[in-house]
Amino acid sequence: MKWLLAVLLAGQAQGKGIRVRTSRTLALEKAQGNPLLEEAALPPLTAVSAQDVRSAMETKLAAAGTALKTLEDTLAAALKKGTNVTYDQLGPKLEDIYELYGRPWSMFSHLRSVRDSPELRGVEKELRPKVVAFGQVLSQSQTLYRALVQLNTSTLTEAQRRVVEGELLGRQHSGVSLNETMAKVFNNVSKELTELSTEFSNNVVDARKRWNYTAFLKEEVAGLPARTVQSAAAAAKAAGFTNATAADGPWLLTLDPTVLGPVLLYAQNRSVREKIYRASAALASQEPFDNTAKVNRILELRQKMAGMLGYSDYLALSLASKMATKSALFKLLADVKAVARPAAEKDDLELKVFARSPEQRGQNPPLEELKQWDRAFYARNLEQSRYQFDGEKLREYFPYPAVLQGIFHLAQRLFNVTVKPVPEEQLKAARWEPSVEGYELTRGAASGFVLVDPYSRPSEKKGGAWMQPLVSRRLTAAGMRRPVAVVATNFPQPSSERPSLLSLREVSTLFHEFGHALQQVLTLQNESSISGVNGIEWDAVEVASQFMEYWAQLDRTTLFSFAKHFNTSEPLPEDLYKRVLESKNFRSGSSLLGQLYVTTVDLQLHQGYKIGEDPDAIAKGIAKDLLVDPPLPESHFLNSFSHIFAGGYAAGYYSYLWSRVVSADAFSAFDEPQVSWWWPLKMSGLSDEQHIKELGKRYADTVLAMGGGRNPSQVYTDFRGRSPTPDALLQYNGLKPALFGLAFSR
C-alpha cells in the first residue's frame, strides 16, 4: 500500500516524473564516480552520499531541461510544416526525459525510506520543489500536447497506444487543452484545492495533538497492553508530570492511532473508552481546527474542475482513468450490501448477547446498552473466547527464511519461475544494508531482480511494508534493461537464538509485497512507462498483490510447505490451523459493511454534489440506510477523512473493495472444482497440480506479463474468460454459501 501511495503522490506532482526510468543517453555519459549516475544491472547503492544526490539531480534536471527544449523545437518545426510526427520521434524521447531525472530521484526516494538521515532530508527539502516544478513544465507543454493529439495511433502497437492515451489523458486532466481564459480559472481552482488539502491535513494533525486525557487512577488504564501503558507514562512525563511511571501513573492518553486503537480494544474502563471515542469521532470539527467549511469548498471545487474538463461530475473524471465502470461499481455496492447487511445484523445480535453474558459480567460492569465505544472491546473479547489461540505462539511456526522459500516454491509451482540468489560479488555494491538479500527471477523471456530488505531499523527505515519499482524493464538500442523490485518490510530482527518469527499478518504482508514484485519483474513490456507495475490503473494495481495473499491463507500445500516450528521443525498443528482459518471470518459481515459505508459516502459525495448541500447530512443519511450502529450526532468523520480530502483517494476509495473483489475472483479460478473422470465428487482445483500449472501459466502470461500495456479489464478477461464477480470474495469471507461442494470448504 505504501508503494501505491508513493505512486499516487508522484502522479499528483504531475508529469509522472518520479517514476523509475533510465535513459540511453545515461549510459554514454561519464559517471564521474557518482554511484547514482552509474548504469549497472543492480544500482550501486552501497555508498551514496547526500552530495552525490545533489550533484546527480542538478546534472540530470539540467539535462532533462535541455532534452525537453530540443524535443519541443523538433516537434514545433514538424507541426508548423504540417508533417506528421511519428511515435519514434515522440514516445521514446519522452521516456528519455522522464528517466533522466526520474531515475536518480527514485534511487534517492528509495534511500530515504530505508536509510534516512538528516543530510538526506535536507537534500529533499532543497530538491523537491525543483523536481515538482520541472514535472509541471513537462506536463503542461503545449507543443507536446499538440504533437500527441495529431499522432496517428492506428499504426501503433497496442502498448504504444496505451502510452499515448495515458499521456494524453494525464495532460488533459491537468488542464492543458483549455483556452487561455479557462486555463487561468482552472489553475486557480487547482491551486486552491492543493492549499485546501494541506490545510485540511494540518487541521487533522493539530486537532489530534490538542486533545489528551490524563488518567490518574490505575483502574483507568486496566487491561491496556504493557507497551501502551509505558508510552502513556512517558507521554505524561514529557508533558510535565516528572514523576510519572508506567506502574503508578499518571498516564497521558492521546488520539494517536497507537493509543486510540489499544484503548478501544483493551481498556476495561468504559468511561475512558467513551471519552476517547467521542473525541475521535468529532475530530477536526471545532474551531480553530474545524474542517467543515473546507469539506464543502473542496467538493464544490472538484465539481467545478470536472465540469471544466468536460465531465458530468468528479466521479466521472476519476473513473476516466480506472478499471471499474460506473455501472459495474454500483452493481457491486448493491450486491455486497445485500449480503453484508444481514450478516452484520447477526454479528450485532451476537455481540449484544455476549456482552451481557455472565462470563463478561464477571469481568466488566454489566451493560444496559451496547454503545459505539463498547463494540471493539467486546468484539475482541468474543473473538478471544471463541478461537483461543495465542498469536505469539503461532509466530514460532513462521520463521522468515522459511516463509520466503515458501513464496519461491509457489512462484516455481504456479509460474515456472526460476529463483537464483544474486552472487555476493554483484550484491555487495548494491545493498544499502548488510541484511539485504538479492534474488534473480527468470521466467522465459522475462527476467529481473528482487532485493529484499526484511528487518526493522526504526532509526533510519520507514515503518510498514512496501514494494518499490526501483528499475523498470525497457528495450533501447543499447539492449534490454532488466527490472529491479525492492521488497521492504519491518519484521523483527533475528537473534543468535532464533530467526525472525512472523505473525500471520506479516506472512500475508510478505506474500502481498511479493505479488507486486512479481508483476514488476515478470513483465514482458518494453516501454518503461507501461512495463511492470507502471501505467496500471490504480484500482487494478492491488490485484496481483492481494491474489498472492490467498495462497498463504487458503492453499494448504503452500502454507504447510513453510509452516514448521523454528526449533523442532514440527508442522503447524492441525487444530491450530483450523482455528486460525475459522477466525479469519470473524465478524466479516460487519467489517465489509463498514468498508461499504465509507466507499458509498465517497462515491455519493463526488457524484453530482451541489453547492449548499450538507456533506455531513449526506453521510449520515447513508449511515442510516446502511449501518447497524449509526454514528453519534456529534460525529463528523468526514472532517478527518484525509484519504479523500487530503490524499489521492477522492472518488477512488472504492479501489480497496474493487481490488479485493478482483483478486478473490482470480484466486477462485484455481480453487474452482475440477471434475475428474475417476472420482465422482468435485474436488477443489487446488488439489489438481496439472490444473494449477495451466492456469498459473495463463495468469503469468496475462496479469503479470502485460503490465500497463493493455486495458486491465481486457487483461483480466484474457485470464479469466469473463469479468470479475463478487461471489468469490463473499464466499471466502463466509458470507455466501459455496455451491461447489468440497471445493470451498476446508
Which C-beta is closer to Zn ion: that of 114 or that of 623?
114
Backbone angles phi, psi at 491, to 5 degrees: -75, 160
Q: How far is the CB of 542 from Zn ion (least distance, A)?
A: 5
Which C-beta is closer to Zn ion: that of 1 or that of 402?
1
Q: Are 112 and 460 contacting, i.e. CB atoms less than 8 angstroms apart?
A: no
Stretch that binds Zn ion, among 169-177, 337-345, 422-430, 544-552 (CB under 5 A): 544-552
Q: How far is the CB of 544 from Zn ion (least distance, A)?
A: 9
Q: How far is the CB of 1 from Zn ion (least distance, A)?
A: 5
User: How many other C-beta atoms are found inside a 10 Å radius of the C-beta of residue 266?
Assistant: 18
Which C-beta is closer to Zn ion: that of 1 or that of 41?
1
Q: Are 391 and 504 contacting, i.e. CB atoms less than 8 angstroms apart?
A: yes
Q: Which of residues 1-40 bind Zn ion (CB under 5 A)?
A: 1
Stretch that binds Zn ion, among 348-356, 411-419, 420-428, 542-550 (CB under 5 A): 542-550
Q: How far is the CB of 4 from Zn ion (least distance, A)?
A: 6
Stretch that binds Zn ion, among 74-82, 142-150, 226-234, 539-547 (CB under 5 A): 539-547
Stretch that binds Zn ion, among 182-190, 414-422, 545-553, 611-619 (CB under 5 A): 545-553
- Which three three-digit cell numbers place residue 151? 499522432
Stretch that binds Zn ion, among 368-376, 541-549, 578-586, 674-682 (CB under 5 A): 541-549
How far is the C-alpha of 541 from the C-alpha of 712, rounded, in Å?
9
Q: Which residue's C-alpha cell is 462470563?
A: 359
Stretch that binds Zn ion, among 489-497, 543-551, 556-564, 616-624 (CB under 5 A): 543-551
Q: Which residue is nearest to Zn ion (CB)?
A: 545
Q: Are 316 and 306 contacting, i.e. CB atoms less than 8 angstroms apart?
A: yes
How far is the C-alpha of 86 from the C-alpha of 81, rounded, in Å?
14
Smallest CA-to-CA distance from 483 within 474, 492, 473 is with: 473
Residue 525, interface with Zn ion (CB under 5 A)? no
Beta-bridge partners for 480: 475
Which C-beta is closer to Zn ion: that of 207 or that of 470?
470
Smallest CA-to-CA distance from 14 within 122, 144, 150, 204 is with: 144
Q: How far is the CB of 414 from Zn ion (least distance, A)?
A: 19
Stretch that binds Zn ion, among 96-104, 538-546, 548-556, 662-670 (CB under 5 A): 538-546
Which C-beta is closer to Zn ion: that of 1 or that of 576?
1
How far is the C-alpha of 683 from the C-alpha of 701, rounded, in Å?
26
Smallest CA-to-CA distance from 139 within 94, 184, 77, 75 is with: 94
Which C-beta is closer to Zn ion: that of 464 or that of 631?
464
Q: Are 686 and 746 contacting, i.e. CB atoms less than 8 angstroms apart?
A: no
Size of the residue set binding Zn ion (CB under 5 A):
2
Residue 509, interface with Zn ion (CB under 5 A)? no
Assign 3-state DSSP to the chain and report helix, strand, coil percentages, each to 5.
60, 10, 35
Q: Are 476 and 39 contacting, i.e. CB atoms less than 8 angstroms apart?
A: no
How far is the C-alpha of 335 from the C-alpha of 328, rounded, in Å?
10
Q: How far is the CB of 503 from Zn ion (least distance, A)?
A: 18
Residue 469: strand, helix, or coil: strand
Residue 372: strand, helix, or coil: helix
Catalytic residue list: 513
* Helix segments in 391-479, DSSP class H: 391-395, 400-415, 424-427
Which C-beta is closer to Zn ion: that of 620 or that of 660?
660
* Residue-by-residue DSSP string for 520-532: HHS----STTTST
How far is the C-alpha of 389 from the C-alpha of 582, rounded, in Å?
11
Smallest CA-to-CA distance from 474 within 29, 41, 165, 109 is with: 41
Q: How far is the CB of 715 from Zn ion (least distance, A)?
A: 18
| Contact string 156-185 vs Zn ion (x = CB under 5 A) | ------------------------------
Which C-beta is closer to Zn ion: that of 549 or that of 665?
549
Q: How far is the CB of 535 from Zn ion (least distance, A)?
A: 16
CA distances from 310 to 172, 316, 317, 346, 490 (A): 10, 10, 9, 45, 45
Q: Please state whether beta strands 484-491 and 446-455 pair in parallel, antiparallel, or not at all (unpaired).
A: parallel
Q: Are 26 and 99 contacting, i.e. CB atoms less than 8 angstroms apart?
A: yes
User: How many other C-beta atoms are found inside a 10 Å radius of the C-beta of residue 408?
Assistant: 16
Which C-beta is closer to Zn ion: that of 1 or that of 419?
1
Q: Are 41 and 449 contacting, i.e. CB atoms less than 8 angstroms apart?
A: yes
Q: Which of residues 588-627 bind Zn ion (CB under 5 A)?
A: none
Q: Which of residues 256-285 bind Zn ion (CB under 5 A)?
A: none
Q: Which residue's C-alpha cell is 455481540?
A: 351
| Contact string 451-470 vs Zn ion (x = CB under 5 A) | --------------------
Q: How far is the CB of 516 from Zn ion (least distance, A)?
A: 6
Q: How far is the CB of 539 from Zn ion (least distance, A)?
A: 12
Which C-beta is closer to Zn ion: that of 114 or that of 281?
114
How far is the C-alpha of 401 from the C-alpha of 309, rounded, in Å?
51
Which C-beta is closer to Zn ion: that of 1 or that of 475?
1
Q: Which of residues 308-367 bind Zn ion (CB under 5 A)?
A: none
| b/e 485-501 (16+ beta carbons within 10 angstroms → b) | bbbbbbbbebeeeebbb
| Cα angle: 201, vertex 205, 210; to 5 degrees | 145
Residue 545, interface with Zn ion (CB under 5 A)? yes
- Which three three-digit cell numbers place residue 111? 534511500
User: How many other C-beta atoms are found inside a 10 Å radius of the C-beta of residue 81?
Assistant: 8
E-only strand ranges, 148-261 = 212-215, 251-254
Stretch that binds Zn ion, among 19-27, 275-283, 540-548, 616-624 (CB under 5 A): 540-548
Q: How far is the CB of 729 from Zn ion (least distance, A)?
A: 17
Which C-beta is closer to Zn ion: that of 399 or that of 469?
469
Instruction: Assign 3-class secondary structure to 707-732.
Output: HHHCCHHHHHHHHHCCCCCCHHHHHH
Q: How far is the CB of 659 from Zn ion (least distance, A)?
A: 9
Which C-beta is closer to Zn ion: that of 250 or that of 515?
515
Q: How far is the CB of 485 from Zn ion (least distance, A)?
A: 12
List, in order, residues 6 or more apart from 324 with CB less than 8 Å away. 539, 654, 658
CA distances from 373 to 258, 263, 271, 277, 370 (A): 17, 10, 9, 6, 8
Residues in contact with Zn ion by the rule CB under 5 A:
1, 545
